[in-house]
Amino acid sequence: MTSPYASPGPTRAEVDALPGTTLLEFGTPWCGYCRAAQAPISQALQGRPQVHHVKVEDGSGRPLGRSFRVKLWPTLVVLRDGKEVARVVRPGSAGEISEALARAQATA
């Protein structure tokens, strides 16, 4: 994944209104954990074109991250029709992320 983190990113109301499955990724471009997670995230998203991936730059004073109680980066929040169904913090493998995405599909 070479796409940049959105700064400031969407509002909470915009995120809550997203239809379908969304992988909301909170992090920063300078975070080593965030950079290391890019390959597993990319692998987990392969074959899932219906999943909308939104990368949001997080940090002090960023309201979207605070509304999701993000404490560590990267934090991946899986949403189904704007509602959180799963969360992965500092993913170590594509399998972890795939399991979280499968939970969203199961609620469809």
Please give the full DSSP string across 52-63, using - where no structure is assigned. Answer: EEEEEE--TT-H
**pLDDT for the residue numbered 1:** 45
Report the predicted TM-score, pTM, of the whole model to 2 decimal places.
0.94
CB 43 within 8 A of CB 51: no
pLDDT digits (tens), the chain, 108 positions:
468 999 888 999 999 999 999 999 999 999 999 999 999 999 999 999 999 999 999 998 899 999 999 999 999 999 999 999 999 999 999 999 999 999 988 876
Which sequence spans correspond to the domains of the chain?
Answer: 12-91
Report the topology of domain 12-91. Answer: Glutaredoxin (3.40.30)
